[in-house]
Amino acid sequence: MHKIEADVQISLLEENRKYAGENREFLREHGVVSFNLMGATGSGKTMLIEKTADKIGEKYRIGAILGDVAGDDDFKRVKKHGVKAKMVNTGKECHLDAHFIHHAIEDFADVDVLFMENVGNLVCPVDFDLGEDYRIVMVSVTEGDDVIRKHPEIFRLADAIIINKISLADAVECDVDTMIRDAKRLNARAPIIKMDLKKEIGIEEWIEWFVDAVERAKKLKGV
Amino acid sequence: MHKIEADVQISLLEENRKYAGENREFLREHGVVSFNLMGATGSGKTMLIEKTADKIGEKYRIGAILGDVAGDDDFKRVKKHGVKAKMVNTGKECHLDAHFIHHAIEDFADVDVLFMENVGNLVCPVDFDLGEDYRIVMVSVTEGDDVIRKHPEIFRLADAIIINKISLADAVECDVDTMIRDAKRLNARAPIIKMDLKKEIGIEEWIEWFVDAVERAKKLKGV
């Protein structure tokens, strides 16, 4: 029983790796810089795409593959901000995988930047490479100030960490300094951006990191 | 039996995480930027430290914690290049862990840059966060042109990938383009640097990436 489960898991990850590699090749060939955007439901992932498009949609053509268990709410939202979007319903799956992306990606050869908005979950997406350039992890203060240390792997491997809804910290009795300290213990490479998207806090800092990351990735791709 | 093994593994990784967090705090407090340097025995890790010190030892004070199963050969080598060094003999362990680093780190509060040269191995170091800012993976063409795809995880999580001894590629019938293609399929974020340390090939490109990485990390640490 144990043996069989282990074998299934390995072959799943190997298959995922194959598709992730093909996705990465496709994105490089077309000079697309991609971001695997992870975080719990309600952490603000979709709004981050909207605000980014509002700020920088003139500079970069932005695309988004929106993963959700069901529904097309996110799809309708980002379209209004000029984002080229595609919905991926994962059904029972609690994360995007490279095969889902593989099906969706062909439509995005003409964008500069592609967001892959993962399913709301801080555990399952960690193991599944999508073929992205960067991994962004978002949390909201409403998730509690122990949320980061409870999910070490996803924060350890992040390229940028966003703590959203900071204006609500006092109301929900969340100690943001604790979250920041936990994040810094797990990761010294990623900026930790305090944000409140609805109040336009932290967006400038995000855009500064984002543009720098896009330009570095473009240089590596030879774009 | 399975259950017990799994529990032991989890508690090992949890303990490692605790020490890695403390290492990261210590390094941040002292403004030290650190590199976990991984690669098989003979891939050129120690020589990379030597050459980096020769090139940039005026700009940054460089330290190195040298992990090896036994012996102090690497220690003696880097000392000659002005590197502040400490040897860590891991005994039976095939990788450094954060606890080894925790013991060694106090002596390095006064350096700008700290290399943590891991034990020669492309598998075991992957799971053990040392508290580093960046992960560098080195391979040599003498390891065969399938070495990268055979070790996907370590290359997926690398911040820079170095292919060393490229001048020997023809002699050992290694197709460097295959290695580069495999690396690019696994990782779009890391530069892939073709190098031959003994012939001084690729060092400028490495130093350019290295200085940029050090400066970005210093900015995040507020140094």
Contact B19, B101 (CB under 8 A): yes
C-alpha pair distances (Å), B142 with each of A30, B51, B58, B174, B193: 33, 20, 33, 7, 16
Residue of B nearest to A3 (CA): B2
CB contact under 8 A, A188 and B133: yes
Out of B188, B191, B220, the one facing A133 most closely (by C-beta) is: B188
Asked if the C-beta of B126 comes within 8 angstroms of chain A's C-beta atoms, the answer is: no
C-alpha pair distances (Å), B207 with each of A143, B97, B146, B193: 41, 27, 27, 11
Out of B17, B156, B217, the one facing A188 most closely (by C-beta) is: B217
Contact A20, A130 (CB under 8 A): yes
Does the pTM surpass 0.80? The reply is yes
Q: What is the pLDDT of residues B10-55, one digit of tens each?
A: 788 899 999 999 999 999 999 999 999 999 999 999 999 999 999 9
Size of interface A-B (CB pairs under 8 A): 68
Closest CA to A160 of A119, A210, A220: A210
- Selected residue of A189, A192, A205 to mutate for chain B interface (largest B Cβ count, 10 A): A189
Asked if the C-beta of B193 comes within 8 angstroms of chain A's C-beta atoms, the answer is: no
- The Cα–Cα gap between B163 and B140 comes to 6
Residue B22 one-letter amino acid: E
Residue A11 one-letter amino acid: S
Residue of B nearest to A215 (CA): B189
Contact B121, B93 (CB under 8 A): no
Contact A114, A30 (CB under 8 A): no
- The Cα–Cα gap between B176 and A187 comes to 32
CB contact under 8 A, A159 and B184: no
pLDDT at A5: 65
Q: What is the pLDDT of residues B110-164, one digit of tens each?
A: 999 999 999 999 999 999 999 999 999 999 999 999 999 999 999 999 999 999 9
CB contact under 8 A, A184 and B25: yes
Residue of A nearest to B216 (CA): A189
How many residues are there in chain B?
223
Asked if the C-beta of B223 comes within 8 angstroms of chain A's C-beta atoms, the answer is: no
Q: What is the pLDDT of residues B157-196, one digit of tens each?
A: 999 999 999 999 999 999 999 999 999 999 999 999 999 9
pLDDT at B85: 96
CB contact under 8 A, B24 and A186: yes
- The Cα–Cα gap between A124 and A93 comes to 9
C-alpha pair distances (Å), B35 with each of B56, B88, B124, B134: 15, 16, 17, 5
pLDDT at B115: 98
Residue of B nearest to A183 (CA): B21
CB < 8 Å to B21, chain A: 185-186
CB contact under 8 A, B188 and A156: no
E strand map for A82-195? 84-89, 113-117, 134-140, 160-164, 192-194
Closest CA to B183 of B157, B216, B210, B212: B157
Q: What is the pLDDT of residues B99-119, one digit of tens each?
A: 999 999 999 999 999 999 999
Q: What is the DSSP letter of A113?
A: E
Asked if the C-beta of A194 comes within 8 angstroms of chain B's C-beta atoms, the answer is: no
- The Cα–Cα gap between A116 and A64 comes to 6
Q: What is the pLDDT of residues B62-100, one digit of tens each?
A: 999 999 888 888 899 999 999 999 999 888 888 999 999
Out of A2, A132, A186, the one facing B21 most closely (by C-beta) is: A186
What domains sit in chain A, N to C, each tagged with a CATH number?
2-221 (3.40.50.300)
Q: Are strands B84-89 and B113-117 parallel, antiparallel or unpaired?
A: unpaired
Query: What's phi and psi for A3, nearest 5 deg?
Result: -60, -45
Contact A45, A23 (CB under 8 A): no
B2: helix, strand or coil: helix
Asked if the C-beta of A119 comes within 8 angstroms of chain B's C-beta atoms, the answer is: no
CB < 8 Å to B20, chain A: 185-186
Low-confidence residues in chain A, pLDDT < 70:
1-6
Asked if the C-beta of B185 comes within 8 angstroms of chain A's C-beta atoms, the answer is: yes
pLDDT at B3: 59
Asked if the C-beta of B217 comes within 8 angstroms of chain A's C-beta atoms, the answer is: yes
- The Cα–Cα gap between A188 and A213 comes to 16
